[in-house]
Amino acid sequence: MTKIFKMWEHRAWGDKIGWLQAEKPVAKISGFLSRRPVDGDILFADTGEFPGAKSIFLLGNVEYMADPHDMFFADALYLNTFESEEEMASVERRWRCE
């Protein structure tokens, strides 16, 4: 089942997702999560395009590190930017249903 990650919910030590390269169409991320992403998972992120904007990315080429065991790297393919929380929530509901 596809997991949806929200970058703004993962900002603490040992529970973090961050940008390595925030360029479109394919960004690079890294992070530390107990439930690491897999290819095909979804990432919502603040991209700063305009106030309140959230963008959606499809994760791929996920690589896991052995030490530390919770570290990962991934490509984040840009899909779209949403102007409102409601629009983002609608898309999130559709992804969870598929």
What does the CA dihedral 76, 70, 44, 12 come to, rounded to 10 degrees? -130
- Tokens matching residue 90: 């609608």
Examine the pLDDT at 96 and tell me if it is beyond 90.
no
- What is the helix (H) or strand (E) element at residue 61, kind and residue range? strand 54-64
Note the pLDDT tens digit of each residue in 5-56.
999 999 888 899 999 988 889 999 999 999 999 999 999 998 777 667 789 9
Whole-prediction pTM: 0.87
